[in-house]
Structure 1
Amino acid sequence: MLRRLKSRQLLLLIALSEARSLRKAAAALNMTQPTATKLLQNLENNVGLALFERGRRGMQPTIYGEVIIRHARLVLADLNRTRLELQSLSSGGTGRIRIGAVISAIPVLLARAVARLKQQHSGLSVTIDVGTSDALVPALAKGELDVLLARPLVLADRPEFNYEELTEEPIQIVARAGHALAASERLRLGDLAGSAWTLLPPGTPMRKVLEPIFAQIGPGEPRNVVETSSIMTMIALLQESEMLAVMPADVTNFNTRHGLLCRLPISLPPIMGSYGIVTRRDRPLSPSTTTFLQHLKATMQRFD
């Protein structure tokens, strides 16, 4: 029955899940409401199940609707990926890969792996999305990414993913180069009480594991805080102020080498754990993804 699904029905399912209104979904797809109604009715008749419930909050997907919407997203993502790969091949390219990564992986591991990948496969189209693990996992689930470098903390109760550990992730307290605290010989966490900070937003994996660290600085979390998910914004704020931040060691080392930041002489426990390769169990790896992972692991071995 699912073989008879039409692309317009798939698009309507996704539009309905976002708009919660048949009228708005039809308008978003440039079709009339009667047409949208008929498409939905035909789909529900084909599967023999109610996919949406109408209520005061609009059209809400049923448990069956949630399942088919999820698969609709994956099907359309696969079709779009196929279109882009064909487009790349027809213009002289050799394929396409979309990589998601936490910031920790960027300065050394991912940058070196992708640079070597492009040296051998110059026609390969590479897209890199950077974010926190909790923000990137949904993109992988929807088929918007081919592979993800992320932390396993956000994969609990997510059996649809494969995880392969790559490396531990030390974190460090940093400030602008020349910060007064950097010259302290016996700096302790308690000495940072009253400092201003720039941190990742609440709910992110790093912010969660920092709670015991901040408990040693003073009661509760710091109050003088600028929150941002952008590492570039953090670095810019540090340059213009006496703020402090917590960053992965590879990010710190990269910016220290370029004279932007310095590491405060305080050792933090390995509370972030590791990060690794995340892929979907129900999707075979494309040749481009397999090639990228080979370069990634070869780069990792050079660090060992």
Structure 2
Amino acid sequence: MKIDERHLIQLAAVVKAGGVTEGAALLGLAQPAMSRALSMLEKRVGEPLFVKGRRPLQATPFGLSLAEHGLVMLAASRKASDLVDSFRMGRSGVVRVGGTPFFMDALIAQFCAEFQQTHPDVRVEQSYGYLPDLRAALKADQIDLAVCPIDILEEGSGLEFQQILPGRNVIACRSTHPLLMKRRPRPGELLDYPWVAPPPGSPLLADLRALLLSFGATEIKIRYSGGSLMGVINYLKAADALTIMPHSVVFALRKEKAITALPVNIPHPERALAILTRTDAPRAPAVDHFAEFVRSGFESLRHLIKRHEEAVVWGN
């Protein structure tokens, strides 16, 4: 026998609320419509669902048994409705974010944890890549947004970016490096030390080569390359080596007091850290909430980094 699931849910609502009028209100229905539905269900099953003449309304044992199944459906329906509402309001869902390794590990991972303090039902899936890979992943709908350094986007790319931090590199070293004893190390003095190369594919690698050439280097002393952010930090802590890093990354690690920036002003890259998204793809509300959270977080960071830059790095 086929029973209309809606009728079971309506029966459950009446039993749960204690009356037809109350049950109708629970489901947002009119009382006459609820009465007709219960009458149709009784005719369908051929058994009374409520004890006749009993006030307040009392379900028969058979009616209670059917109502139990309806309660399961009612609970599932409510959960589904709550899920839809939560998703539409950005309180649940999945955020797939990709980005360059140093920024993701030093900054974005912390933003993810802070975001989930107010959005505990949003799952964040983090991945790594540089601009060409991230651009391809966005177009293939493998990620929802990317956080990466960008210099220029070709017209008609189908992508848009929102700048969240201007490009600014520093020369990073361990906090007890001998060069920190000098008020203003000269470029030639930096060439006396070995260097750590950023990972292959990183725009920092081109920045490092250009920097050392501008210092007059005829050969580049690369002692270590290809490491993760943690690998580079651990290497710097144990050696007098130098490397190039975004100032925001060094700033994010300042409380650990393991690495710092040399007071040497170097050219700024012609790029900015940005949130990159597709222009033609619908996004889950949680993705937009996360992007706004990151943008707002970097807005606050920008002022702190600027003060740190003026007071610690260049002192002007």
* TM-score bracket, shorter-length normalisation: 0.5 to 0.7
Q: Give the drift of 1:132.
A: 3.2
Q: 1:202–1:221: structure 2 CA closer, same or farther, 3 Å change rule?
A: farther
Q: Equivalent residue for 2:190?
A: 192
Code of the aligned partner of 1:276: A
Residue of structure 2 aligned with 1:264, choices 245, 262, 265? 262
- Name the Cα RMSD after superposition: 2.8
TM-score, normalised via structure 1 length:
0.62
Counterpart CA distance in 1 for 2:196 and 2:133 is: 19
Code of the aligned partner of 1:191: E
Q: Give the drift of 1:235.
A: 0.7
Higher radius of gyration, 1 or 2: 2
Q: Equivalent residue for 2:161?
A: 163
Counterpart CA distance in 1 for 2:93 and 2:209 is: 43
Q: Give the drift of 1:95.
A: 1.0
Counterpart CA distance in 1 for 2:297 and 2:221 is: 41
Q: 1:253–1:282: structure 2 CA closer, same or farther, 3 Å change rule?
A: same
* Count of residue pairs the alignment pairs up: 215
Q: Equivalent residue for 1:287?
A: 285
Structure 2: runs of 5+ lacking an equivalent: 1-82, 304-316
Residue of structure 2 aligned with 1:243, choices 236, 241, 249? 241
Residue of structure 2 aligned with 1:183, choices 173, 181, 184? 181
Q: 1:133–1:220: structure 2 CA closer, same or farther, 3 Å change rule?
A: farther
Contact 1:256 / 1:262 at 8 angstroms: preserved in 2?
yes
| 218-227 or 188-197, larger mean C-alpha shift | 218-227
Is residue 139 of structure 2 the alignment partner of residue 141 of structure 1? yes
TM-score, normalised via structure 2 length:
0.60
Code of the aligned partner of 2:277: T
Contact 1:173 / 1:263 at 8 angstroms: preserved in 2?
yes
Q: 1:298–1:175: structure 2 CA closer, same or farther, 3 Å change rule?
A: closer
Contact 2:200 / 2:226 at 8 angstroms: preserved in 1?
no
Q: 1:301–1:153: structure 2 CA closer, same or farther, 3 Å change rule?
A: closer
Identical pairs, percent:
22
Deviations along 1:154-184, whole A, 9 cap, x unmatched?
A: 7446612111212202111111121111111
Is residue 103 of structure 2 the alignment partner of residue 104 of structure 1? yes
Q: Equivalent residue for 1:14?
A: none
Structure 1: runs of 5+ lacking an equivalent: 1-84
Residue of structure 1 aligned with 2:250, choices 239, 249, 252? 252
Is residue 225 of structure 2 the alignment partner of residue 227 of structure 1? yes
Q: Equivalent residue for 2:149?
A: 151
Q: Give the drift of 1:223.
A: 3.3
Residue of structure 2 aligned with 1:274, choices 272, 275, 292? 272
Contact 1:195 / 1:224 at 8 angstroms: preserved in 2?
no
Code of the aligned partner of 1:291: H
Residue of structure 1 aligned with 2:170, choices 169, 172, 194? 172
Contact 1:206 / 1:272 at 8 angstroms: preserved in 2?
no
Q: Give the drift of 1:271.
A: 1.7
Counterpart CA distance in 1 for 2:158 and 2:143 is: 15
